[in-house]
Amino acid sequence: MIAALPHVTRLARAGFVLAREGVLALIDTRALPPLARWAIALARLVERPRAQEGAGRLAAALTRLGPTYVKLGQFLATRPDVVGAAIARDLESLQDKMPPFPQAEAEAAVAAALGKPLHQVYASFGPVVAAASIAQVHRAEVVREGVRKPVAVKVLRPGIERRFRSDLGAFFFAARKAEQVSLEAQRLRLTEVVATLARSVAIEMDFRLEAAAASEMAENTREDHGFRVPAVDWDRTAREVLTLEWADGTPLGDHAALRAKGFDLPALGRAVIQNFLRHALRDGFFHADMHPGNLFVDDDGRLVAVDFGIMGRLGAKERRFLAEILFGFITRDYRRTAQVHFDAGYVPRHHSVDSFAQAIRAIGEPIHNRTAEDISMAKLLALLFEVTGLFDMRTRPELLLLQKTMVVVEGVARSLDPKLDMWSTADPVVREWIERNLGPIGRLEGAVQGAGEVGRFAGQIPQLLTRGALLLDQLDAITRDGLLLSPETVAAIGKAEARRSRWTTLGLWTIAALLLWIALMLV
């Protein structure tokens, strides 16, 4: 009980802040037991008279509670299966902005992480230019071949790991207690949800992993003429510090500046969608936080992405799933869209493909009666996942992250061109993937890969035969000499057999007594 006291204290503070910001007013208490309704009514007495309306209350409360709760809110925005679609949509607007920590602390943290005095690493180290819950970014300069080059230096907040560790401990405590008393909490697997959040945060707080993500995306997109990733400065990167090439460019959200420079905003909107789909389908590796603050346009008109702390991955099966779904809706081939769910193993085989195709048609047909600007690809995927729930499709975290990212990407593209036709924009990227991977070339490559697998298996045959021969020798020895057991094992088996014999005898006597009683009753 004493060990749980710090968790209870933190959760009590969080509960007070939530009540103070009016979050409890968002709860529908009609289905709750009387005691719970009374507790919520009592807690609402501390509510601020001027609490924000609707979702603003929850965002304000999470911001007040600090970095861990901001990350929790952003994470839950990707899990509508846990918090519901309405709250998930509201949480998408939660901004990850925090006051910066002092310049002296940042400089000391960089020097400690890199193991050198700051002046030996950077020619200059400027003030903070952006601050979020986990880190802040400074503009600095390095000298390469006698020339000063600007770089962006991301610095981990001092003490943030300890803060996250304490808060996540309280989250785990609350999730375990909820699962002990609530079947709904068990169904939602709250402990697993917290564990996923903990893994995500741990990855975000190791900047070597973010550097690796940026490097991988740069390698994937090196031939893409309309997209660029800043280069990683590995010599000035450590667990708590990340140094990247400075991304010169106009923020994608500054429409006036983009127009002043002569950029075609609708063309940029199409580029955002097509690059995102290309990364998801072709590479299976996409930037999962593509809001306007992380996207710039350089002087050559290329999109420049920054902040690679949150990335999404799709396996070959998930990529085919996404491409087939989008292609099926584009061509109105709903049975093909339904079949791919079954082929991927997402929908159990006991369901009917035709019935599932009928449910998908109910989503797809209304789209073709609307104008292009009214069609939301992200909303379509949300409706699709909602329908698949009726057919026992389990939640797929990677697909939820994809859908959440598509919501953001689509919003960015629509802001650049409100009349953007999502389907004609997506069509060339999806068709290219379909033709490349499911056409003749894709089948040939699949056959080559299959032949390679057969070759690898053939190479293992001698080793498998040797193991089989050893196993046969062991079985032969057992058959010839008998299976030798220790005295303790023999005694334990004897006791177990005796207990089983007693229970068998008791069972037989019980059955006999019941039969005798039935016979007497009949007489």
Q: What is the pLDDT of residue 157?
A: 92
Cα separation, 208 vs 237, whole angstroms: 7
Tens-level pLDDT at each residue, the chain (523 residues) = 566 778 888 888 888 888 888 777 777 677 667 777 787 788 777 777 765 565 577 878 888 888 888 888 877 776 666 666 667 767 766 767 788 999 999 999 999 999 999 999 999 999 999 998 889 999 999 998 889 999 999 999 998 988 888 988 988 898 888 888 777 677 767 888 788 888 888 888 999 999 999 999 999 999 998 999 999 999 999 999 999 999 889 999 999 999 999 999 999 999 999 999 999 999 999 998 888 889 999 999 999 999 998 898 988 888 888 888 778 877 888 888 888 888 877 788 888 889 988 988 888 787 766 665 666 776 777 777 777 667 777 666 667 778 778 878 888 898 999 888 887 888 889 889 988 887 555 444 444 454 555 555 556 666 666 766 676 666 565 555 554 555 655 565 566 555 555 555 555 555 555 555 554 554 4
* Cβ neighbours, 10 Å, residue 132: 20
* Cβ neighbours, 10 Å, residue 486: 8
Tokens of 157: 């907040």
- The answer on 499 and 475 residing in a single domain is no
Per DSSP, the three-state class of 505 is helix
Of 195, 221, 246, the residue at which a domain comes to its end is: 246
Cα separation, 112 vs 107, whole angstroms: 9
Kindly report the backbone phi and psi dihedral angles of residue 369, in degrees, each rounded to the nearest multiple of 5, phi listed first. -105, 10
- The answer on 422 and 279 residing in a single domain is yes
- The answer on 420 and 299 residing in a single domain is yes
Of 96, 116, 151, the residue at which a domain comes to its end is: 96
Cα separation, 111 vs 122, whole angstroms: 10
- The answer on 354 and 310 residing in a single domain is yes
- The answer on 216 and 113 residing in a single domain is yes
- The answer on 104 and 6 residing in a single domain is no
β-sheet with 295-297: strand ranges across: 227-228, 303-305, 295-297, 250-251
Of 246, 269, 284, the residue at which a domain comes to its end is: 246
Nearest-5° Cα angle at 424, 260 to 398: 95
Residue among 355, 360, 358 nearest 329 (CA): 360
Nearest-5° Cα angle at 370, 366 to 371: 155
- The answer on 189 and 92 residing in a single domain is no
Q: What is the pLDDT of residue 139?
A: 96
- The answer on 344 and 478 residing in a single domain is no
- Exposed, middle or buried, 335 (CB in 10 Å: 0-12/13-18/19+)? middle
Q: What domain range includes position 102?
A: 97-246
Please tell me which residue in 289, 298, 307, 417 is annotated as part of the active site: 289
307 belongs to the catalytic site: no
Per DSSP, the three-state class of 99 is coil
Quickly list DSSP for 360-411: HHHHHHHHTTS-GGG--HHHHHHHHHHHHHHTTPPP-HHHHHHHHHHHHHHH
Cα separation, 93 vs 73, whole angstroms: 10
Q: What is the pLDDT of residue 445?
A: 47
- The answer on 420 and 348 residing in a single domain is yes
- The answer on 194 and 137 residing in a single domain is yes
Q: What is the pLDDT of residue 348?
A: 83
Per DSSP, the three-state class of 127 is strand
- The answer on 403 and 280 residing in a single domain is yes
Cα separation, 402 vs 313, whole angstroms: 9
Strand partners, 451: none
- The answer on 407 and 282 residing in a single domain is yes
Interstrand relation of 135-144 and 250-251 (parallel, antiparallel or unpaired) = unpaired
What's the total number of domains in the chain?
5
